[in-house]
Structure 1
Amino acid sequence: MARVLGPLTPQQFRARLPGLAPLLADSVDGGASVGFLAPFDTEAAERWWRQQGAEIDSGTQQVWVAEDERGVVGTVVLHRAPKANAVHRGEIRKLLVHRDARGAGLGRELLAAARNHAAATGLTLLLLDTATGSPAEELYRRDGWTPYGVVPDFARDPAGTLEDCTFFYRRLP
């Protein structure tokens, strides 16, 4: 059974880099449209995660992980808007669940952890985007997110094919 931890401190984040990197590489290898093109290996994934360190140190980004006996099997990032007129909102990024751990509700649990923390720390609006027609899109709809538009040919999937993107928001209490 996986447990969700977070938001991670900068030290906890750095200690989990060896688990976060294979998770990201697995997601891209599995076809997830999360900003990277194939081939995308664990070394490239670790470089990307390391680049997030400054924003994690500053508190602009917060990370949660789901861990089980295999290590890190899921993650989600909450990015806080840095502009003075936008401190009420945040963006959900990199909601990832390892292909071997899907179907157990980890995506919903990670999303809820980030959303609840966002509300508890004063955010009132969350945004996210995902590939139109993806399993993630259905997860967000079931979780109460409101779609507000589809942009055609917004991004390339890992194979390089252009795909549409659906944008969502969720108001927080």
Structure 2
Amino acid sequence: MSDEIRVLRVGADKAAACIEGLADVLMDCVEGGASVSFMLPLARETAVAFWDGVAKSVARNERILLIAEDADGTIVGTVQLVTAQPDNQPHRADVSKMLVHRRARRRGVAQRLMAKVEEAALEAGKHVLVLDTVTGGDAERLYARAGWQRVGDVPNYALMPTGEFCGTTFYCKQL
């Protein structure tokens, strides 16, 4: 696999066309232990249905979807910006499902995705971003290096894919 990675914002049609590749990334992350809303075993149909819903949400302009592709055009990472917020929060968005396939980790993919999601937020008029991640997980270092502010922890917030409880740490960033 080449080290060339490109990050793209995809519209509704491309999002729908990417569902299988996105399902591959999601399944790999969950199988690797990521607590991202899914439990093991994660059926492919469940992963595909999730991404179908994301593609439809992109079509309704409720979220922005970014993908990272390698030189062969294989999707190796993704992140979403949920822009649909309540009326009193038009300036805010949630960063969601920052996923990098295990074979593409430690190559700056997550860092590039986070930089692009911040650019997309500004283009969408969003200047307050919020995200959450597993307390004590590898992603915490990424967010700290990218200038995100740790807001707080919630113990036993979610489950790991294998069923044990995990805490969640919330972060925010003012752009």
The one-character-per-residue Cα deviations of 1:4-57 (angstroms, maximum 9, x if unpaired) are: 111x11001011111101100000000011011111132221111112233111
Identity fraction in percent: 39
Quick check: 1:27 aligned with 2:29?
Answer: yes
Partner of 2:18: 16
The SS at the match of 1:86 is coil
Separation (CA, whole Å) in 2 of partners of 1:20 and 1:53: 11
2:91 touches 2:126 (CA, 8 Å); kept in 1?
Answer: yes
Partner of 2:108: 105
Change (3 A) 1:95 1:124: same
RMSD, aligned α-carbons? 1.0
Separation (CA, whole Å) in 2 of partners of 1:165 and 1:78: 19
The SS at the match of 2:38 is coil
The aligned length equals 171
Partner of 2:99: 96
> Structure 1 counterpart of 2:13, which letter?
Q
Separation (CA, whole Å) in 2 of partners of 1:161 and 1:17: 29
Partner of 1:118: 121
Partner of 1:151: 154
Q: Map residues 33-72 of structure 1 onto 2, 5 A cutoff.
A: 33-68=35-70, 69=72, 71-72=74-75
Separation (CA, whole Å) in 1 of partners of 2:56 and 2:50: 12
- Could you list the runs of 5+ residues in structure 2 that have no partner in the other structure? none
The SS at the match of 1:76 is strand
The SS at the match of 1:84 is coil
TM-score, L = length of structure 2: 0.94
Change (3 A) 1:124 1:70: closer
> How far is the alpha carbon of 1:70 from its aligned partner?
5.8
> How far is the alpha carbon of 1:137 from its aligned partner?
1.2
Partner of 1:166: 169
Partner of 1:79: 82
TM-score, L = length of structure 1: 0.95
